[in-house]
Amino acid sequence: MSSTGGRNVRNNGTSGRISLSDQLYHTIREKIITWRIPPNEIIVEARLAEENHVSKTPVREALALLSQDGLVEVIPRVGYRVCPVSVQDVHEVFELRIFLEGEAAALAAQRATEQELLMLRDLDRAGAESLREGKSDPEDYLYFHDTFHLQIAKLSGNSRLAGFIAKLLRDGTRLRMRDPLMSKRGLAEEQEDSVRIVEALISRDAKRARQLMQEHIAESKERVLMQIMHQGAGPEVQVD
């Protein structure tokens, strides 16, 4: 299962086929956000075209989409460079998530139906069981984690708020893939947070739901910052 995020793919006419450029976009994006293509690596159109047995046109289109996502940048007469990760990126993404997702949780506690909240609880339990049985790798967990957060955002009843949160989760995917708690112990700790959040939602305690969500995201932010600082200002990260 691929990690969440990324733009929606486009269809070519009525056949429902996904365009070649979108296929390349998702393939390259997945490699970037999972660090298989590391920050600062140079990507050359001709080389990608040859590796994927396609012309340069779909490659160029895919890289243009990745540029819009802020994952690559054009280096004149060289190619594209994978954008580095910075401490400022972490602060910007997580500060907004803390604020917006806290409010989304509070609204969900007030607006979601009982059936919707019970379905959320069941989804959380099923994911936790899968993790305990060792069926999920970090990418699978990240997909489950983001689905959980997006569902709460949708239960806020504010589609624009949910849209902003979806973008922040997408923008922060690469940051969170460096979270050192992408492990058995770390996943269990995060699961404890999600159980408490769901309990607050079901009990209609908007204030507690907001607080728990904000604390949960703040803890994730600190882990990511610690990982980046531990790596230092080497070729993979920029410490501002």
Residue 136 belongs to domain with CATH number: 1.20.120.530
Task: Give just the sign of the alpha carbon dihedral 84, 74, 142, 207.
Answer: positive
**Are residue 38 and residue 111 in the same domain, yes or no?**
no
**Are residue 95 and residue 172 in the same domain, yes or no?**
yes
Phi, psi of 238 (to 5 degrees): -120, 120
Helix (H) or strand (E) holding 165, with range, is: helix 159-171
Cα 127 from chain centroid?
A: 17
Rounded mean pLDDT of 8-18? 48
The answer to the question of residue 58 being in a domain is yes
pLDDT attached to residue 42: 95
Q: Which of 64, 83, 102 is the last residue of a domain?
A: 83
Question: Residue 53 maps to which CATH number?
Answer: 1.10.10.10
pLDDT attached to residue 2: 44
Task: Give just the sign of the alpha carbon dihedral 204, 208, 213, 216.
Answer: negative
Closest CA to 38 of 187, 177, 191: 177
**Are residue 56 and residue 106 in the same domain, yes or no?**
no
What is the rounded average pLDDT for all residues in the chain?
84
Rounded mean pLDDT of 38-65? 92
Domain count, the chain: 2
The pTM score is 0.78
Q: How do residues 93-138 score in pLDDT, each as one tens digit? A: 999 999 999 999 999 999 999 999 999 999 888 877 776 776 556 6
